[in-house]
Amino acid sequence: MLSELKEAYLFSQLDDEQLQRVRQMSNEIQLQDNEALFEAGDEAKRFFLVKEGQIKLSRLSLNGNEKVIEVVVAGHTFAEALMFSDKPAYPVRATAIGKTSLISVESKGFLDLLRESTDTCFRVMGDMSMRLRRMIKEIDDLTLQSATGRVAGYLCGKSMFKGQVRVAFDLATPKGVLASRLSVKPETFSRILHNFTDQGLVKVKGGHIEILDVEGLRKHAESSGVCGQHISPES
């Protein structure tokens, strides 16, 4: 567990003694596909690091439709901001996408540790700031941009890896979840991919995407004011 904690951005500035304390306030959780970790409204006493698999954070609308808020991939934490609330409660439902392993950390204990580590405090603040910026950008995209632009922007983002363009990649997240995350209907998402295929921009086989025309795809994104939209940070 120590190696996974040390590699996570949130814990990377802790010394060995502090990491041992985090390990002592942590436990591991194994979830099966679609198994719930917590429900919206549950008391939030812990936050989490994804070791393997993915976690879907979602809410239900009044008509019962699910809206995916975020998909958290391996190496990333979630729900840590709630430790600063007076009466913390999870605002979303968390479920596993496929078999998923997590590390669960006690919020109160970690908050005590934060008081001793200025560097880690700044990392928590920096991470929260980055998420806020992504959320503001997403609101702009959802309000001002077309569904085609959002899908093109997402594919542009996925094609970039460590500063280099990937011409092929696999969608680890189910298409239905991606559609909800991008606020489009599943049939609309499929239709947009089909249109991109007809235009010679991409080649789609199941969850495997091959980018045939990077510039053409980028123009679709940029024409809508979107480029490089990510569902969640690359691991």
Instruction: Find, among 71, 68, 74, 69, the residue nearest to 101 by Cα.
Output: 74
Position 162 pLDDT exceeds 70: no
Please state, in angstroms and rounded to a whole number, the distance separating the CA atoms of residues 58 and 40. Answer: 9
Please state, in angstroms and rounded to a whole number, the distance separating the CA atoms of residues 136 and 176. Answer: 23
- Report the first-to-last Cα separation within the chain, whole angstroms: 18
Q: What is the token pair recorded at 226?
A: 């979107």
pLDDT in tens, 126-154: 877 877 777 776 666 665 568 888 899 88
* pLDDT band, very low/low/confident/very high, at 116 (cuts 50, 70, 90): confident
What pLDDT does residue 233 have?
39
Q: What is the token pair recorded at 125?
A: 């603040």
Output DSSP code: residue 158.
H
Position 235 pLDDT exceeds 60: no
Ordered domains of the chain (ranges, CATH): 2-132 (2.60.120.10), 145-223 (1.10.10.10)
What pLDDT does residue 219 have?
87
Please state, in angstroms and rounded to a whole number, the distance separating the CA atoms of residues 101 and 134. Answer: 26
pTM exceeds 0.75 for this model: no
Residue with tokens 């979602």: 58
